[in-house]
């Protein structure tokens, strides 16, 4: 056995850190642990939503105030619509609604049929953000200064999609944890 492996085994054999003993929890302790995970998850989600909304809505007055954006009023309107739609999707859609309708999460139980609004609004928002990005690039080809403002709708859409996917995955993980409960006999 190599010296490194011996040193690692000696370090891991410390009785204070014995990983061989498994702890078994009764039903009440399991429910308490799962409830704590759910509460931590809800708190983290609300913090991320608040940070996203603040980050996206703070620069939106620039689309209304800057003379540069006033000269591109249609593009500014599309950009604002895309940003507000991203915020609306993040705050209003249920977790059972997938990021895109063709990416249905198999582990979520009780999925209901999607309304046309829930089904087609996220892809339309992606198209609108891409349109703003492409039109902004085409109209102002060498980007300098305020030209990077046309990236904001795409960043908004991408961030809201990633946050929603993270929320769906965390809900799926909690559901998996709920399904992994075991009955402790004799407790």
Q: How confident is the model at residue 48 (pLDDT cuts 50, 70, 90)?
A: very high
Q: Name the residue ranges covered by the structural domains of the chain.
A: 29-101+111-182
All residues at 6 or more sequence positions from 65 whose CB lies less than 8 Å from its CB, including other chains: none
pLDDT digits (tens, 9 = 90+) for 110-169: 556 778 888 889 999 999 999 999 998 888 777 777 778 899 999 999 999 999 989 888
Q: Measured between alpha carbons, how far is 158 from 180 in angstroms, rounded to an integer?
A: 33
Residue 157 has what pLDDT? 94
Confidence of residue 181 (pLDDT cuts 50, 70, 90): confident
Rounded to whole angstroms, the Cα distance separating 93 from 122 reads: 10
Mean pLDDT taken over the chain:
81
- Are the beta carbons of 75 and 132 closer than 8 angstroms? yes
What is the model's pTM?
0.75
Burial class (CB in 10 A: 0-12, 13-18, 19+), 187: exposed
Percent of the chain residues topping a pLDDT of 70:
77
What's the CA gap between 77 and 143, in Å, rounded? 20
For residue 74, is pLDDT > 70?
A: yes
Distance CA 33, CA 21 (A): 19
Rounded-to-integer distance, Cα 163 and Cα 35, Å: 22
Distance, in Å, from the CA atom of 128 to the CA atom of 134, rounded to the nearest integer, reads 10
Burial class for 54, CB neighbours closer than 10 Å (0-12, 13-18, 19+): exposed
**Given pLDDT bands bounded at 50, 70 and 90, which one contains residue 32?**
confident
What is the distance between the alpha carbons of residues 95 and 111, in angstroms, rounded to a whole number?
Answer: 10
Q: At 172, is the pLDDT very low, low, confident or very high (cuts 50, 70, 90)? A: confident
Structural contact between residues 80 and 147, judged by C-beta atoms closer than 8 angstroms = no
> Per the structure block, which two tokens stand in for 28?
């009440």
């Amino acid at each position: 056995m190599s010296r490194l492996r011996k040193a690692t085994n000696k370090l891991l054999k410390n009785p204070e850190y014995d990983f061989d003993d498994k702890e078994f929890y009764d039903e009440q302790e399991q429910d308490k642990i799962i409830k704590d995970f759910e509460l931590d998850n809800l708190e983290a989600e609300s913090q991320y939503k608040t940070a996203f909304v603040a980050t996206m809505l703070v620069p939106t007055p620039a689309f209304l105030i800057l003379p540069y954006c006033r000269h591109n009023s249609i593009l500014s309107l599309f950009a604002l619509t895309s940003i507000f739609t991203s915020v609306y999707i993040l705050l209003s859609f249920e977790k059972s609604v997938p990021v895109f309708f063709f990416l249905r999460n198999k582990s979520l139980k009780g999925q209901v049929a999607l309304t046309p609004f829930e089904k087609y609004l996220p892809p339309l928002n992606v198209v609108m953000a891409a349109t703003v990005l492409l039109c902004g690039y085409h109209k102002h080809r060498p980007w300098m200064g305020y030209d990077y403002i046309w990236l904001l709708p795409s960043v908004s859409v991408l961030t809201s999609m990633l946050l929603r996917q993270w929320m769906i995955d965390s809900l799926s993980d909690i559901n998996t944890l709920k399904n992994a409960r075991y009955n402790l006999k004799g407790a």
